[in-house]
Structure 1
Amino acid sequence: MQRAIGIFDSGVGGTSIWKEIRKMLPNETTIYLADSKNAPYGEKSKEEIIQLSKKNTELLIQKNCKIIVVACNTATTNAIGYLRENYSVPFIGIEPAIKPAALHTKTKKVGVLATKGTLSSHLFHNTSKLFAEGITILEQEGKGLVELVEAGKVYTPETKMLLRKFLDPMLEQNIDCLVLGCTHYPYLIPVLKEILPSHITIIDSGEAVARQTKAVLENKELLSELNQKTDVFYSNAEIEVLKSLLEGSNVNVSYLDF
């Protein structure tokens, strides 16, 4: 079996990134870890997030992965510096797409829906400072949303009510872009489109992460030339939600205690 692209997340949300990688890199083998047992990462301390990211990384290295995509905003913003310092494998991170939102906004007001762990990180604040000069960034912690996605409860009154509670204050402030700062949140886009006025642009990082993954593989001459891909998914919790999000994809989903 050819060397794989390793991907990990605090649960099922990073599959939104996997789908973009699969689209852009159709010949590659992938191994995905859903650390759902420990979701959400956004409520944990930086030290805990680093330890969980280290555990996931070491398992993917054991499986001979040639690159690791940290498909979790909270793990990227809190742990990727540590991972890059301590492991030789290349890492691709993900953080809220502040730059494209800042370039796109007309009202100069951008909403960011993210976890507490992402919003409180140095990396998030540095990115905001760097790319959002003259732009008002309205931050909102999406407390409870990861758990709803992990439970497969996307299309429920509870989810819609929670999203309205988070978004209404941003709408009152006249945002015209909403940045999704967690890889679980793209699964909420159908519900968000019901709630948000049609002029508001929803921005996530999936395609940009796939592009960067491809660029690094090209640069390091690690791209697969063979169309012998396999896609393996492991979860350390209930696998039914993960299976449902991957319905229609030819993948292997298994329970693994990690």
Structure 2
Amino acid sequence: MTNNNPIGFFDSGIGGTSIWRAIYELLPNENTIYLADSKNAPYGQKSKEEIIALSYKNTEFLLKENCKIIVVACNTATTNAIQELRRKYSIPFIGIEPAIKPAATNSQTQKIGILATQGTLNSELFHQAQERFQSTKIIEQIGHGLVQLIEDGKINSQEMKKLLNSYLQPMIEENIDFLVLGCSHYPYLIPQIKKILPKHIKIIDSGEAVARQTKNVLMDIGFNDETQKSSQIFYSNRNPVVLNDILESKFQVVYKDF
């Protein structure tokens, strides 16, 4: 089945491009439209009502662009708003949740760490996941300040290094053997995180699983015609330069106040 309409993505900024990359690598022939709502980042410090309202706004934008499926490329928006989105709209939504299951299932120490936003850790979906794995101790850490530093283009700054050290050292002392990244911004910190964590601690993010799920859903909706060159468009409502840098200037980035 052929369906040339684009896959839509939205996030509270540039972080969801880590999810976009995983899907683009698996499905390079698909047209995509990515929405970076950077002027409202981070979502993790907002109320559930605010997160739902922003998710509605982003969805309406992508629907006007005739998207055939929407990837909520933000853990906070997924855990707080995706049920409301699915109730209100008929378009399929792909969400992102912290990958607690593979970490808890494979942990030898029965202790895993999760680095996430306050909005994700406070959400009902996260608490439900916790309850499913009560035999595993989950050490939670809110990543205060991390998203804003990434949005400001300060991934390799001393300030970032200090914050990551303060968040990860207590987990190391607790003897975790898996670290779950519970925010789509955080995969961009993996090189920094690896410098801090002992080599035996495995890092898990949701990108590949989300890509596989997207492909599964498209089997029912239709894939882009492979004879047509695919189009990748990125919109930012704050600072397109940072988004352009993350994408290494390979794709079209447009400033748009939405």
Question: Structures share a fold, TM > 0.5?
Answer: yes
Name 1:210's counterpart in structure 2: 211
| 1:140 matches 2:141 | yes
Residue 202 of structure 1: how far off its partner (Å): 0.4
Matched residue type, 1:111: G
Name 1:59's counterpart in structure 2: 61
Unpaired runs of 5+ in structure 2? none
Matched residue type, 1:255: Y
C-alpha separation in 2, matches of 1:13 and 1:22: 15
Name 2:101's counterpart in structure 1: 99
Q: Secondary structure at the match of 1:228?
A: coil
Deviations 1:50-99 (A, max 9, x none): 00000000000000000000000000000000000000100000010001
Q: Which runs of 4+ in 1 moved over 6 A?
A: none
Name 1:118's counterpart in structure 2: 120
User: How well do the aligned residues superpose, as a CA RMSD in angstroms?
Assistant: 1.1
Q: Secondary structure at the match of 1:209?
A: helix
User: Which of 16, 20, 23 is residue 14 of structure 1 equivalent to?
Assistant: 16
Kept after mapping to 1: 8 A contact 2:4/2:31: yes
| 1:41 matches 2:46 | no
Name 1:89's counterpart in structure 2: 91
What TM-score do the two structures reach when normalised by structure 2? 0.97
Using the aligned pairs only, state the percent identity: 62
What TM-score do the two structures reach when normalised by structure 1? 0.97
Name 1:254's counterpart in structure 2: 254
User: Which of 64, 71, 74 is residue 72 of structure 1 equivalent to?
Assistant: 74
C-alpha separation in 2, matches of 1:107 and 1:133: 14
C-alpha separation in 2, matches of 1:41 and 1:33: 14
C-alpha separation in 1, matches of 2:30 and 2:245: 22
Q: Secondary structure at the match of 1:100?
A: helix
Distance 1:205 1:222, change over 3 A: same
Residue 156 of structure 1: how far off its partner (Å): 1.1
Kept after mapping to 1: 8 A contact 2:79/2:97: yes
Unpaired runs of 5+ in structure 1? none
Q: How many residues align?
A: 255
Moved more, 149-158 or 1-10: 1-10
C-alpha separation in 1, matches of 2:255 and 2:195: 34
Kept after mapping to 1: 8 A contact 2:4/2:225: no
Residue 248 of structure 1: how far off its partner (Å): 5.6
Residue 225 of structure 1: how far off its partner (Å): 3.1
C-alpha separation in 1, matches of 2:190 and 2:88: 36
1:87-236 mapped onto 2 (5 Å cutoff): 87-130=89-132, 132-218=133-219, 220-226=220-226, 227-236=228-237
